[in-house]
Each structure stands twice: as structure tokens, then as C-alpha cells.
Structure 1
Amino acid sequence: MNTLTRFNPFKQIANVDTLGDIGDLVRGFGLRSMLRDFDAPLDLRMDVTDNDTAYLVKVDLPGVAKSDIDVSIEGNRVTINAEVKRETSKKHGKELHTERYCGTAFRSFTLPQDIDRAKAQASYDNGVLALTLPKKANGDTRKLTIS
């Protein structure tokens, strides 16, 4: 059995501390908060399983509100959009270090068979989005005879 892994060439670069060597020099100038816009986006990790009648998809979406998740299905393509929001008030003082991502995350993938959108279900619990995507019956396919 083969395992597919999504390759992200920028993941290692994004994890490098850009201010590591000169951190003491620039501390207090606010450069870290300016660099927050260049943080690596939320990585939507998912598991897809297949049974005879449906595809079961589980996607990790930690820190995302249920109302900020959008799932759309078109044929055999599934698209997931999530917006990660972060509190912006500065009630508790000056920000010294931030690593949490805020912004939008997007993931789109195709499945081997069309999805029955009318019967598809989604639930969200403890930061995990669970999709049940029933397979559409292929009653309109036919085999052609070659003459």
C-alpha cells in the first residue's frame, strides 16, 4: 500500500527563526509583529477513508469556529475554506512573541467517484471536521462497443 504525503517546500523555511541571531539587537523595535503577516498558513491535515458507499474525511482545524468553515462539493471535487481569527485587543500589554496563525486556509481535493451532495453530512467537534460523502450511483455510465 502506498502512502501519499503532501510536500510543502516552504514549510522548513517558514519554521526558521528569522530573528534568531539578531534577536537581542532588534528586541523592542516591533519587527516580530511586522513579520507576523509572513507566517506559514494553517496546514489542513486530513485523513480520507473509503468504504463501499461513502468517503469519510477528517480534517484537523484547531482554533477555528464552526461558523468560519465553508465546505463545497462539485462533482468529485471537495473544497474546504477556513478562516482563523485571533483576538486583536492589546489589553494585556505588549506582545513579545507570537506563533499562532491568523488568516484563511484552503484545501481542495478530488475523489475517484462523484459525491451525492444531497446526502453529504458534516460535523465539527473538538477541532476536527468530519465529512461523510456518499458516493453517487453511476447510473448514467455505459460501456461503448468499438466497431
Structure 2
Amino acid sequence: MNSLVSRGSLFDDFFKDLAPGFYVRPLHGDPLPSPAQIKIDVKENDSGYVVHAEVPGVAKEDLHVSLDGNVVSLRAEVRQHDQKTEGDKVLRAERYYGAVARSFQLPTDIDATQARAKVDNGVLTLTLPKKLVSSAQRLHIE
């Protein structure tokens, strides 16, 4: 079976440590972030949840949030802008195009009609109120 070696191999790390600043990795050498790289903080209060998610460099139009019961799904479209200009030589390019998604489950259902989302300085803030559960009622039997 053919084994592929990643670009971030032990050999590359060895030379990076010997001469930091002189070693340049190949273009587009880093993979897309894993879903765990959308880092989140979740806080709960009596009325609901507040979620903060790191999405640096992602435009508001490229963020997608969906709610299904108590499951929250985040999706971010990341775009790389390669520009070639005459006389420039690109030594390293780490920006890329792709999608990153992450889902997580909360302890109680969310009231999707009252949920709010806001992005500011690369941080997505979700305000997710808990769905009110009506208490059981005893019916009168006629």
C-alpha cells in the first residue's frame, strides 16, 4: 500500500528548528482546519444559552447557523484570494478555500423563533433561548 507523507513531517520540523526564519514551507502546505478548530464557548443561564465561536476572517455572508431541536450546527466558508502580480514571488501561502462545519448538542431544546446571531471582530455570538416546556395538565373527565 502506498503511504503518503504529509508536508509537515518530522524532517521539515527538524530544519525549521535549526534555522527558524530561513525555512519556508511549500505553497498551500497546510490542510483545511478540522471541525474542532472552530473553537466555541457555551454558557448557560436560566433563560437560555450564549455561544461564542471563533470564525476569524469569515464574512457574515459566509456563515451559516442552523438549529434543530437541541442541536446547533455551524458552517463557515473560507475563501483564499490568490493574486498574481508581475515581479512578485510568493514564498508561503496559508490562506485557502474550503468549508468548515461543526455541530454540538445542548441539554435542552432551543426556541428557534427567538434565537439571535451576531458576528463582531471574528467572533460569532449566538443567543439561544430555551424552549419553554409547558407543565402537564390534568384533564377533567366528563
The TM-score range, normalised by the shorter chain, is: 0.7 to 0.9
Match of 1:91 in 2: 85
**Structure 1, unaligned runs of 5 or more:** 1-12, 24-30, 143-147
Cα 1:126–1:141, aligned 2, differ >3 Å: closer, same or farther? farther
Q: Secondary structure at the match of 1:117?
A: coil
Cα 1:14–1:66, aligned 2, differ >3 Å: closer, same or farther? farther
TM-score between the two structures when normalised by the length of structure 2: 0.72
Match of 1:58 in 2: 52
Task: Confirm or deny: 8 A CA contact 2:81 2:96 kept in the other structure.
Answer: no
In the TM superposition, what is the alpha-carbon distance from 1:40 to its structure 2 partner?
A: 4.2
Match of 2:118 in 1: 123
Q: For the residues of structure 2 that align with 1:65 and 1:79, how far apart are their CA atoms? A: 17
Higher helix share: 1
Match of 1:108 in 2: 103
Range with greater deviation from structure 2 (87-96 or 68-77): 87-96
Match of 1:39 in 2: 31
**Structure 2, unaligned runs of 5 or more:** 1-5, 17-24, 138-142
Q: For residues 2-40 of structure 1, give each alpha carbon's deviation from its aligned partner in whole angstroms, at most 9, with x where no partner exists.
A: xxxxxxxxxxx88657645689xxxxxxx822x53x514
Q: For residues 81-123 of structure 1, give each alpha carbon's deviation from its aligned partner in whole angstroms, at most 9, with x where no partner exists.
A: 0011121221262221123353211110000000000000000
Matched positions, count: 121
Task: Confirm or deny: 8 A CA contact 2:32 2:98 kept in the other structure.
Answer: no
Taking only the aligned residue pairs, the percentage that are identical comes to 40
